[in-house]
Chain A
């Protein structure tokens, strides 16, 4: 197994430490941090284990920078960073997971046994190989013994999603080994790769003194070329898949947001409507409240808060919401212009609210329309219904609602109110408030 995965290790551009001289201290720090502080691998942004992305996020670098640094250091340090990368993978918990792979691996006695067995096998192989070329094996070989151990433990204990990702990474190797995924072109690549690898390893391992300087270099080039020929297309595909996967995830998140919204409000309302199907008024009320909420979310990009209104337009819409919710009568609102609220305008809105509630309670109208217009000099609100109406001359003195409260409120703040009503034709209350708070004397006044 380790022989299969070895080439992929080299090609992974993972990341680890910032320099060979300090790796002991850093490894210590890393371990402590990884367990205590929020250094987390980021499987969302992974190329291999997400360690580079995790460190980048933790330290505020770009993941690409960290990965390049890692690859460079790997080349300089003769591959020493690879076991540490794998150590990080094993010991740093993934984002969102509470335990690292390592904590699970501790209980995996079969995995540990397998890892030790493979490690000793690899030692034997390396020992034999070093007879052929001691320098090379001593330089590049022994570091990878711990890598193999770590890789085995990771492989056996990673979470399902991570295993799926790893399987994706080594897919090319499996298809070579199994011969299942043989496609056109693969045969040619295989032949070319075997030739290149054979030549490369041959040159590397049989170094005669005479060409000692030339051959290792040529060997490395040939081996690299062989790997690229063999695996290049797959790596390209994997890189492409990663990009696709990420954008798909972004889309999925957006969809989740929308479906949460739909579920929270729309589906709930639909369920309520079905249950109240025998009460038409309630159904209309629910449908309208939902419509308004959805509309404000879709077209105005805001959610309806219960916070205080700060402008005339908001205030009127708040009246609309409250009256519809409490009295179940639809309120049609049209506003023209807008301006911030002050004391006088608050009084105007309070009077408008009262007139609207009054209409909802007594008029029997199917719909109430509220029209607010902010003009340079005054603000006018007209509340109108097509309900039963009344004879303004015949309102008994004890019906305080409109007569006192609305008139009183308006005149105290320098505004005016006009009530227009006829039996059987509905009622219209026109409220006018001059805009400047400073001008105490009433300006304008009811139009009729």
Chain B
């Protein structure tokens, strides 16, 4: 019990729906330690500043500016705080937006309790968490071969491409495979799967492909 209590990640919930907050608190309360809650950008920044949690479970849509604003403000002073974005919308530009702002992962609000607790634990451990939909977005965004007009001299051209292994991992995530299943499917270890996902996340955050942003904007119009 003691050892377990020490490893429970400390979590702050940021969501403007109090019903949702209390629901999440009740459901995952025994798997993580919910230390604080906030319902908007301003209060969230304050609470996170005070409590310095391991993971912030952050709604993408907040009345006072959205999840991105919270991430940007907190990252400046406390880069060690990790964010897991949570949204009901699945609008690609929102999702890509929070990820590029620095969230370590993204899950939809329809996620099951067990999966959410797993995702939080994984983010707390420094790994990335992709929902199947986010995996689809990323594949989509990186799919189109960069045309000549899109190639902006990058510091690191590798950032603009996914390796075929990363692509394979993402495909399986998009099909709903768990990391364990992916590891078995591809004959690699779970750690390797995690490192592939983390590297995709890094590319997603650092890639200078402006195609990525444009893709997200276009996607909304179709």
Interface residues of A (CB under 8 A from B): 291, 295, 298-300, 332, 334-338, 367, 369, 371, 373, 375, 382, 384, 386, 428
Chain A min CB distance to B17 (Å): 16
* B 123-141 binary contact with A (CB < 8 Å = 1; else 0): 0000000001101100110
Q: List 25 A-B contacts (CB under 8 A).
A: A291-B110, A295-B90, A298-B89, A299-B90, A334-B133, A334-B136, A334-B174, A335-B140, A336-B136, A336-B140, A337-B140, A337-B143, A337-B144, A338-B222, A369-B175, A369-B176, A371-B136, A371-B171, A371-B174, A371-B175, A375-B143, A384-B175, A384-B176, A384-B177, A386-B176
B220 proximity list for chain A (CB < 8 A)? 299-300
Q: Bound complex: CA of A337 vs CA of B219, how far in Å?
A: 10
Q: Bound complex: CA of A386 vs CA of B89, how far in Å?
A: 26
Chain A min CB distance to B204 (Å): 15
Q: Bound complex: CA of A428 vs CA of B182, how far in Å?
A: 13
Is A334 a contact of B89 with CB atoms below 8 Å?
A: no
B90 proximity list for chain A (CB < 8 A)? 295, 299
Is A336 a contact of B143 with CB atoms below 8 Å?
A: yes
Our pick among A299, A335, A367, A384 for the contact of B91 (Cβ within 8 Å) is: A299
Chain B min CB distance to A292 (Å): 11
Is A334 a contact of B132 with CB atoms below 8 Å?
A: yes
Q: Bound complex: CA of A428 vs CA of B171, how far in Å?
A: 13
Q: Bound complex: CA of A428 vs CA of B174, how far in Å?
A: 13
User: Which residue of chain A lies nearest to B142 when distances are taken between CB atoms in the complex?
Assistant: A336
Q: Bound complex: CA of A386 vs CA of B177, how far in Å?
A: 9
A336 proximity list for chain B (CB < 8 A)? 136, 139-140, 143, 174
User: Which residue of chain B lies nearest to A311 when distances are taken between CB atoms in the complex?
Assistant: B222
Chain B: interface residue total (CB-CB under 8 A): 19
Is A299 a contact of B139 with CB atoms below 8 Å?
A: no
Is B175 a contact of A382 with CB atoms below 8 Å?
A: yes
B176 proximity list for chain A (CB < 8 A)? 332, 367, 369, 384, 386
A298 proximity list for chain B (CB < 8 A)? 89
User: Which residue of chain A lies nearest to B136 when distances are taken between CB atoms in the complex?
Assistant: A334
Q: Bound complex: CA of A336 vs CA of B143, how far in Å?
A: 8
Q: Bound complex: CA of A369 vs CA of B175, how far in Å?
A: 6
Taking A371-B174, A384-B177 as given, write out 19 further A-B residue pairs in contact, using a Cβ cutoff of 8 Å, ordered by the A residue number: A291-B110, A299-B90, A299-B91, A299-B220, A300-B222, A334-B135, A334-B136, A334-B174, A334-B175, A336-B143, A337-B143, A367-B176, A369-B132, A371-B136, A371-B171, A375-B143, A384-B175, A384-B176, A386-B176
Q: Give the residues from 170 to 197 in chain B that come closer than 8 angstroms, CB to CB, to chain A.
A: 171, 174-177
B139 proximity list for chain A (CB < 8 A)? 336, 373
Is B175 a contact of A335 with CB atoms below 8 Å?
A: no
Is A332 a contact of B132 with CB atoms below 8 Å?
A: yes
Chain B min CB distance to A204 (Å): 62
Chain A min CB distance to B132 (Å): 5
B133 proximity list for chain A (CB < 8 A)? 334
A332 proximity list for chain B (CB < 8 A)? 132, 176
Q: Bound complex: CA of A369 vs CA of B136, how far in Å?
A: 12
Q: Bound complex: CA of A63 vs CA of B7, how far in Å?
A: 72
B222 proximity list for chain A (CB < 8 A)? 300, 338
Chain B min CB distance to A318 (Å): 16
B171 proximity list for chain A (CB < 8 A)? 371, 373
Chain A min CB distance to B53 (Å): 30
Chain B min CB distance to A121 (Å): 63
B140 proximity list for chain A (CB < 8 A)? 335-337
A367 proximity list for chain B (CB < 8 A)? 176
B177 proximity list for chain A (CB < 8 A)? 384
